[in-house]
Structure 1
Amino acid sequence: MPHTLPHRRRLLAGLGLLPAALACRAARADGRVELRVGDQKGGLRSILEAAGALRDLPFDIRWYEFPAAAPLLEALNAGAIEVGVAGDAPLIFAQASGAKLRAFSARRTDPVGVAVVAKAGSPLTDAASLKGRSIATGRGSIGHFIALAALRQAGLRFDDVTFRFMLPSDAKLALHAGSVDAWSTWDPYTALAETVDHAKVIVTGRGLSSGLTYLIGTEPALRDKPAALAELARRVRTATGWAVAHPDEYSAVFAQALGIPLDAARLTFTRSRPQWAAIDPTVIAEQQRTADLYLDAGLIGARLDAAAGFARLGTA
């Protein structure tokens, strides 16, 4: 991940974030704290809005939408946003590239929605059948991780397949066109592939992935806005509990927010069974195992100390 100022300016301009990043350097005149929050496919914002958890906020939120974790984490590293949500594997990839980002709250899900899928009628049947095939995914993404973990579990080498790195929208088109044999992705993309395109699931993340996703902050935000970050994390936990108790109501909101069919939205949410948890030694150990797989695969150049990538609010 390059860190030069010209690269960052090009990145922020491409994401439409440069004006916001520059404007937010100045303190708000009214003294009210503002958080610039990055979201993926509306998942965080929709659950907060559906549960009514954004009412009476003691701070303001400015939302930014991203199609995947990689651009969100680049925006975090560039300072365009201050907090965002991303999975364990892409966070490791970003941190190993030098990003000064730290996770402060963890969500655990059933990772069945992270999967390697193929077109209906594909001869692929399991991880072993991927040998010699091409797989579309995002470099360093949770999809990339699941594909690598599945190959290792099947006794294959990481170079027994050809990875084609691209964003989800391009990967979907590549699979449909037949220019790749499989696509390793995550919900809601997996659910859409299953329900709309009738894709064939080859491998799921169950038994391969920790299912961990994090709220992640920049070091300045963790230092300067710990109370706002803690309150955001509390409201996300509360909203998630409400959504788990009201799956039909939330799925309808989620479908509308993402502009996807209701059955895909409901499948995405109900099979994930999300629960927010404290960052404890078990979480850190699971994060270390994920980092070690990326080291084995040659995606990162040196062993990463996963524990250093976490923060207790107020002690960043």
Structure 2
Amino acid sequence: MTDDTMGRFGLSRRTLLRGGLGGAAALALGAPAVRAAPREVKISMQRSSVLFTVLKVKGTLAERLAPLGFTPTWHLFTSVIEPMNAGAVDIHADVADAVPIFTQSAKAPLTFYARERGAPSAEAIIVPADSPIRTVADLRGRTVGVSRGSGSHYVLAAALKRSGLTLADIKPAYLQAPEGAVAFDQGALDAWSIWDPFLAFAEAKRPVRVIADGNGLTSYHRYYVVNDGFVAAHPEVVATVYRALVEAGAWMKANPEEAVALLAPIWGDLPPAVVAAANSRRSYAVEPVERSQLGEQQAIADVFYEAKLIPRRIDATDVKIFQPPTGRG
């Protein structure tokens, strides 16, 4: 439509842009389109959320979510059970296998959408190398640091049970991982049940001895969960996050030196060998969750119930599961 044509119909560019043809006319005349601001996807993290850290630092997830009209925001927690129970974020930090037992017991509205394949040596009970404590049985009456509700909490409970002891036979010191690191380093703990990367931190700071790890007790799968309402409303976002996690895990294993260089400054400029040690104990292999593979979760739930850490028996396989599409969307 030329200016002359618009003049014959009594129209001007200003009239078109102000009138009912506004949107279409603006596009036709080259005016910029108005786009809605992207919606935030609130994602929680902890220090051990390595794959989310990679996606954040490299900007991969922001790039993948932009075409869907979403942008990630990142929220660091030292204790992740509270925000999971409260639904404070949309997509939650990857957590050790024991954590969903507590959230399931609390009836938190969470759906499993991925898991990281097992890495049992990535959590362990350690003592100073010069300690007289040689076995788990030697922990009787000792002060043992552990993060309540963590995967290492289960390792401690299960290791004690295997040795004929219970949590009542020791003095548990319930500390979040950063606090436990300080207490162990200062000699305030006789032993510490902890996971990577904090395990690698401790090994780097002073000589330690592992008296038990996850081997023979737990596979130490890490689970990825999302709020029920969010995955129901935005399955394409969760599927995109899943695919990005798979690729980040593959990148970690294919590029170990680059992975160390990326993580070292974030973890406090640790020596590369320390970061490499932590990475070597994790599988970083992300896969869908299959209900038939949740039998070990039931074993964890049973131990926690017997130790009076959860108030009731639960069916650990009775959880909501989102199966992400296998192809790229």
Q: Same fold (TM over 0.5)?
A: yes
Contact residue 118 and residue 221 of structure 2 kept, 8 A: yes
Aligned to 1:60: 71
Three-state SS of the structure 2 residue aligned to 1:83 is: coil
Return the offset for 1:299. 0.7
Q: Mind listing any 5+ residue stretches in structure 2 that lack a counterpart?
A: 1-34, 325-329
Identity score, percent: 29
Quick one: which amino acid aligns to residue 45 of structure 1? F
The aligned counterpart of 2:54 is 47
What's the CA shift for 1:52?
6.5
Q: C-alpha displacement at 1:114, in angstroms?
A: 0.3
CA apart distance, 1:72: 2.1
Q: How far is the alpha carbon of 1:34 from its aligned partner? A: 2.7
Aligned to 1:306, the other structure's residue is in SS state: coil
CA distance in 1, matches of 2:292, 2:181: 35
Q: In terms of Rg, which structure is larger? A: 2
Deviation at 1:96, TM superposition (A): 1.0
Give the Å deviation of 1:177.
3.0
Pick the aligned partner of 1:77 from 78, 85, 88: 85
Please give the per-residue CA displacement for 1:156-205, whole angstroms capped at 9, x wherever unaligned.
23322121111112212222333321111100110010112222222111
User: Structure 2: how far apart are the matches of 1:277 and 1:220?
Assistant: 22
Deviation digits for residues 29-71 of structure 1 (CA, Å, limit 9, x no counterpart): 826443110111152333225676336323310011122xxx3
CA contact (8 A) 1:101 1:218 kept: yes
In structure 1, distance between residues paired with 2:132 and 2:320: 42
1:268, 1:123 → 2: CA distance?
A: 26
Query: Out of 280, 303, 311, which is 1:293 matched to?
Result: 303
Structure 1 counterpart of 2:207, from 178, 194, 198:
198
User: Which residue matches 1:231?
Assistant: 240
Correspondence 1:188 to 2:190:
no
Normalising by structure 1, we get a TM-score of 0.83
Return the alpha-carbon distance in structure 2 between the equivalents of residues 179 and 196 of structure 1.
15
Contact 2:102 2:149 in 1 (8 A): yes
Relative to structure 2, which stretch is displaced further, 124-133 or 93-102? 93-102
- Opposite residue 304 of structure 2, the aligned amino acid is Y
Match of 1:259 in 2: 268
Deviates more, 1:169-178 or 1:218-227: 169-178
Distance 2:103 2:286 in 1: 22
1:116 counterpart residue number:
125
Shift of 1:228: 0.3
How many residue pairs end up in the alignment?
283
Write out per-residue CA displacement over residues 247-274 of structure 1, whole angstroms, 9 at most, x where no aligned residue.
1111211112222412221111112222
- Which residue identity is paired with 1:298? K
Unaligned runs of 5+ in 1: 1-28
Distance 1:126 1:51, change over 3 A: farther
What secondary structure is seen at the aligned counterpart in 2 of 1:232?
Answer: helix
Answer whether contact 1:114 1:187 (CA < 8 A) is retained.
Answer: yes
Residue of structure 2 equivalent to 1:309: 319
Q: CA deviation at 1:146?
A: 0.5
The one-letter code sitting in structure 2 at the alignment partner of 1:63 is W
